[in-house]
Structure 1
Amino acid sequence: MSVDASCHCGAVQMHIAAAPEMVTDCNCSICRRYGVLWAYYAPSQVQFEPAEPPTETYQRGERSIAFHRCRTCGCVTHWSAVDRSADRMAINARLLDPGVLAAARVRHLDGAVSWSYTD
């Protein structure tokens, strides 16, 4: 079953191949500030509308991933790998319908210290 997600203003819309069964709540220095829950997908499982969404990016640390936010409303929408051959990305699951998000298991990742799941 595919699901849709969008930023607050609707300028960035995502069509996702399937609802997430699990989302990650990470407490690393950036994720805890963003307040996101990440749902991981292969880039081929996520289609953007428009195809080149109006986002700005931020890269931190080793610059292996780019965090995207809507240029209009500022919502963090997703992260993508800087290396385009990587087969992993994440969408901000808080942009999903609340009912879809409620059905997903939330895992807690200690990104601040150990980079391991605590549950």
Structure 2
Amino acid sequence: MSQSSAPTTTPGTWPEGTELKEYSGGCHCSKFRFHFTHPPFENGEAKVMSCNCTICSQHGLLHIYVPESQFEFTAGQPEQLSSYQLLGKLTKHQFCPSCGSNIILRNEEEREVVVNVRAVDDVDVSKLDCIHFDGRNKL
């Protein structure tokens, strides 16, 4: 795992002409399903972020950033997700109220959806190229 204090590449920094791949995923009980396009991350082309803040560490979250325009729910309504927002923080962790799966993070000031890679179908997380973000000290 690479050591870095900066988050992974955000949508605005994808080089023009970057190949995009289609992904699907959802919660454990499939009440919520989603679809998005993103540069491939299984081969290390796009980095996945591992944050060490208390909630991300406890839940084992791995993040990728997806522009709102590239993300959609295909089952379930986003307003039906349960949310947890740390006191004084802008980011909402959103999860299925039925099975408890952490699916996405949202910051209403940003035009992106932070997807939990562990909720994406058919991804072998042991093969991902992750970068470290020191959220415990920087958030």
TM-score (ref. length: structure 2):
0.71
| Match in the other structure for 1:44 | 69
Question: Sequence identity, in percent?
Answer: 25
TM-score (ref. length: structure 1):
0.82
| Match in the other structure for 1:68 | 94
| Match in the other structure for 1:13 | 33
1:1-119 matched pairs, under 5 angstroms: 1-18=21-38, 19-20=40-41, 21-50=46-75, 52-53=77-78, 54-83=80-109, 86-99=110-123, 101=125, 104-114=128-138
CA contact (8 A) 1:63 1:82 kept: no
Give the Cα–Cα distance (whole angstroms) in 1 for the partners of residues 114 and 129 of structure 2: 16
Q: CA deviation at 1:100?
A: 6.0
The aligned length equals 113
Higher helix share: 2
Deviations along 1:1-29, whole A, 9 cap, x unmatched? 20101110111111011244221111011
Which has the higher mean CA deviation after the structures are superposed, 51-60 or 22-31?
51-60
Quick one: structure 1 residues 26 and 57, their matched pair in 2 at CA, closer, same or farther if it must change by over 3 Å?
same
Give the Cα–Cα distance (whole angstroms) in 2 for the partners of residues 2 and 62 of structure 1: 34
| Structure index of larger Rg | 2
Cα RMSD for the two superposed structures: 2.0
**AA aligned opposite 1:78:** I
Give the Cα–Cα distance (whole angstroms) in 1 for the partners of residues 129 and 122 of structure 2: 13
Give the Cα–Cα distance (whole angstroms) in 2 for the partners of residues 69 and 79 of structure 1: 9
Which has the higher mean CA deviation after the structures are superposed, 30-39 or 90-99?
90-99
Q: CA deviation at 1:48?
A: 0.7
Which has the higher mean CA deviation after the structures are superposed, 63-72 or 92-101?
92-101
Higher strand share: 1
Q: CA deviation at 1:103?
A: 5.5
Give the Cα–Cα distance (whole angstroms) in 2 for the partners of residues 10 and 43 of structure 1: 21
